[in-house]
């Protein structure tokens, strides 16, 4: 009989996929939650099953139910995932007290944005609203801005840019 060492720490992405399937009930829902395709989740489960030399799920109707080995694994890892979620929440930034910083060219601020500040405030809720006059036409946008409006010709790039109007 060999003393084969199991390396679960080297399989953290696979464990994450496993835990998501147990919680969500099936591979499709787990893939949606993890923002990956179903094939990637299946591949992680196969790798984890190979590492553990045990089948982790059985298919029941449209659900993936843990086998006895899967039940044992979820019991052993559930508290670790709870601690990770707790750590994640403690590091999440509470945006409710940070101001919503809207940067725009001074003429746009004076003509359009400030006169409609009430509507903007309603849209962002209770967050404090702050305006910044930024007449920069090119270059990097200040990372502290929640939203930056610019007047310039922009190349067709990612969906992060949206042309509103010609000024």
**pLDDT single digits (tens) 53-69:** 999 999 988 899 999 99
Would you give the DSSP letter of residue 5? Answer: P
Query: Can you spell out the DSSP letters for 87-124?
Result: HHHHHS--GGGS-EEEEE-HHHIIIIIGGGHHHHHHHH
Same domain flag for 87 and 129: no
Contacts of 13 (CB under 8 A, 6+ apart): 44
Cβ–Cβ < 8 Å for 121, 113: no
Residue 20's pLDDT is 93
Same domain flag for 23 and 68: yes
Tally of domains in the chain: 2
Q: Residues in the chain with pLDDT < 50?
A: 1, 167
Let me know if residue 22 belongs to a domain: yes
Predicted structure pTM score: 0.54
Let me know if residue 25 belongs to a domain: yes
Let me know if residue 160 belongs to a domain: no
Residue 85's pLDDT is 81
- Residue 141: give the domain boundaries: 96-148
Let me know if residue 2 belongs to a domain: no
Same domain flag for 43 and 28: yes
Phi, psi angle pair for 60, to nearest 5°: -125, 110
Same domain flag for 87 and 13: yes
Let me know if residue 164 belongs to a domain: no
Q: What is the C-alpha separation between 129 and 93, in angstroms, rounded?
A: 18
Q: What is the C-alpha separation between 60 and 89, in angstroms, rounded?
A: 34
Residue 96's pLDDT is 63
Residue 148's pLDDT is 84
Same domain flag for 83 and 114: no
Same domain flag for 58 and 104: no
Residue 164's pLDDT is 54
Q: What is the C-alpha separation between 121 and 109, in angstroms, rounded?
A: 14
Let me know if residue 67 belongs to a domain: yes
Same domain flag for 112 and 133: yes
Residue 167's pLDDT is 47
Residue 139's pLDDT is 66
Same domain flag for 73 and 25: yes
Crossing angle, helix 27-34 and helix 12-24, to 10 degrees?
Answer: 120
Let me know if residue 154 belongs to a domain: no
β-pairing, 57-60 vs 100-104, is unpaired
Let me know if residue 102 belongs to a domain: yes
Would you give the DSSP letter of residue 146? Answer: S
Same domain flag for 59 and 102: no
């Amino acid at each position: 009989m060999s003393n084969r060492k199991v390396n679960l720490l080297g399989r953290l992405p696979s464990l994450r996929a496993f835990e998501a399937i147990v919680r969500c009930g099936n591979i499709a829902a787990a893939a949606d939650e993890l923002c990956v395709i179903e094939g990637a989740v299946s591949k992680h489960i196969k790798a984890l099953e190979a590492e553990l030399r045990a089948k982790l799920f059985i298919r029941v109707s449209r659900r993936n139910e843990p086998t006895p080995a899967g039940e044992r694994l979820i019991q052993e890892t559930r508290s670790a995932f709870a601690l990770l979620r707790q750590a994640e929440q403690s590091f999440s930034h509470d945006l409710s007290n940070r101001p919503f910083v809207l940067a725009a060219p001074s003429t746009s601020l004076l003509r359009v944005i400030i006169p409609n500040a009430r509507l903007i405030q309603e849209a962002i809720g209770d967050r404090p609203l702050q305006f910044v006059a930024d007449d920069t036409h090119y270059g990097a946008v200040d990372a502290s801005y929640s939203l930056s409006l610019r007047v310039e010709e922009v190349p067709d790039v990612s969906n992060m840019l949206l042309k509103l109007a010609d000024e």
